[in-house]
Amino acid sequence: MHTTHVRRVGLRHRRIASGSRFARGKVVQRDALPSFLEAVLLPGDRVCIEGDNQKQADLLAAALAGLDPTRIHDLHMIQSGIVLPEHLDVFATGIARRLDFSYSGPQSARIARMLSDRQIELGAVHTYLELFARYFIDLTPDVALVTAVSADPEGNLYTGPNTEETPLIIEATCFKEGLVVAQVGEVLQRLPRVDVPADQVHFVVDAKRPFYVEPLFTRDPAAITETQILMAMLAIKGIYEPYGVRRLNHGIGFNTAAIELLLPTYGEKLGLKGQICTHWALNPHPTLIPAIEAGWIEQVHCFGSEVGMESYIAARPDIFFIGPDGSLRSNRAYCQIAGLYACDLFIGSTLQIDLAGNSSTITAKRMAGFGGAPNMGSDPRGRRHPSGAWLKAGAEADPESPAKLRRGRKLVVQIGETFGDGNVPTFVERLEALELAGTLGLDLAPVMIYGDDVTHIITEEGIANLLLCRNALEREQAIRGIAGYTEVGRGRDAETVHRLRNRGVIRRPEDLGIDPLDADRRLLAARSIKDLMLASGGLYEPPVRFRNW
């Protein structure tokens, strides 16, 4: 047997023996957690903690951050989400040294400062599926710190609606001689269902409370603006309808929430029910409730759940994937695969877009990471099954090739106002991600979606169809043509933009028969969180911070 394998097997046995001193069977009580972690961890370990973009092993994160850095130090943290302050506290104290991650929305400003101050040694910023893949190749965890709803005394886990990436992390760790520790809300004699078998779990920490879940996908319709409604109308009339988009993914934000809330109103007026937006790879957005209740949606597979949506989901097994216990079965890795290969369109927002269409959510002072957008927003060259939307996009991009040999194209749409928060322009000559790469000495600038994957850009000025551009100059002028009064927009060549509009590369609202004055909040199928609750028949239970009644 290979020496490395023997060493790892022996090391796991020693970790289990050391940890068992603080456990009764497999169960560790929370007051023993710091001593337990110091017993099972070693300096330099590769540790994967959840750290998802929604659910958090918050008790384990706090305990890890409180360890003695003279005993546990130089850990290599690999985690999809940097969400809690404790996720970065471990670097400030020297408990951890190196980081590979995907998303850091709530901690984006702090992580940028810590990287600049050289408090963190950055491996890479990944898309989710990319990071998950590396768990099985060259970033296999030595120790996994995961979380679940409950466990039984044998160590079987029930992950509940927010399964997310727990099974994947456990499999990568357990089957390569690593140690798996699960934080659970309670220990039960009998679980509602078994999501992870006990032989893959070495210890269970009884937190005696639920894990923290970020309501990441909740958007209050009251905050949706008329400009966002106009862009939603452009998306439906200018992209969803002509391509016949039925299988899709929406990114997070008010722009996509507006599209969801226009389906039962504006979409109905256009006669598009049953023709668009029927099958989704999507978290259970509360703003999708009116479309579901109006019969627009046939099926939704979810990356994770959403706070307050549990009862509504359980009541709609015709739409969602439901376990025998009646709760949602989510899986981030499976849904990422579905979004990559089975969806014809991705639409999402960004912070910056350059003249080639490259987009990034990373600026000189904010390292937000990518999450799933680079995966969802990429054209999978391994795809072989056709669809109308995919073939039409391919024909627009490559009209000369023989139809039987022409690859289709996934529709990748960036949507946003020409000026973002704080009146900061969305369109730039040069991405700030390049500046950050120079500051940190990165080999590769952290670009979220590369321009050659982007097929359309929507602003309040109209739609730029980049598939129809035949060279780099046309592409640049198409982008300038919908960049409004930003410096990029003011640098347009009026004659070229006019020519592109005549060819349909640029389409203004009036070209699509849309009157901007019709972009009224009365078009929204729900205009408040309370409206969403009522549309659900009272089953949606919004988080307290979103309630105003």
Residue 51: asked if its preceding bond is cis (omega within 30°), the reply is yes
Q: What is the DSSP letter of 74?
A: -
- Distance CA(297)–CA(306), nearest Å, equals 18
Structure token digits, residue 395: 């024909």
Q: Which of 200, 110, 88 is nearest to 146 (CA)?
A: 200
Low-confidence ranges of the chain (pLDDT < 70): 1-3
- Distance CA(203)–CA(57), nearest Å, equals 14
User: Which residue's structure tokens are 């927010």?
Assistant: 162
- Distance CA(196)–CA(433), nearest Å, equals 39
The architecture CATH gives domain 225-529: 3-Layer(aba) Sandwich (3.40)
The whole-angstrom distance between residue 115's C-alpha and the CA centroid of its chain comes to 22
Q: Where are the domains of the chain?
A: 3-213, 225-529
Q: Which of 519, 518, 516, 542 is nearest to 531 (CA)?
A: 542
Half-sphere exposure of 392 (CA within 13 A, CB side): 14
225-529 and 3-213 share a CATH fold: yes
Burial state string for 222-250 with b = 16 or more CB within 10 A and e = fewer than 16: eebebbbbbbbbbbbbbbbbebebbbbbb
Taking the CA atoms of 538, 539, 540 and 541 in sequence, report the sign of the dihedral they define: positive
- Looking at residue 1, its pLDDT comes to 56
CB contact set of 130 (below 8 Å; sequence gap of 6+): 102, 374, 375
- Looking at residue 6, its pLDDT comes to 72
Q: Determine contact, residues 421/321, Cβ cutoff 8 Å.
A: no
The whole-angstrom distance between residue 397's C-alpha and the CA centroid of its chain comes to 27
Residues in the chain: 549
DSSP code string of 95-160: SEEEEEEEE-GGGHHHHHHHHHTT-SEEEEE-BHHHHHHHHTTT---SEEEEEEEEE-TT--EE-T
pLDDT tens for residues 469-485? 999 999 999 999 999 99
- Looking at residue 423, its pLDDT comes to 93
**Number of Cβ within a 10 Å radius of residue 195:** 21
Task: Give me the CATH topology for the region 3-213.
Answer: Glutaconate Coenzyme A-transferase (3.40.1080)
pLDDT tens for residues 77-110? 999 999 999 999 999 999 999 999 999 988 999 9
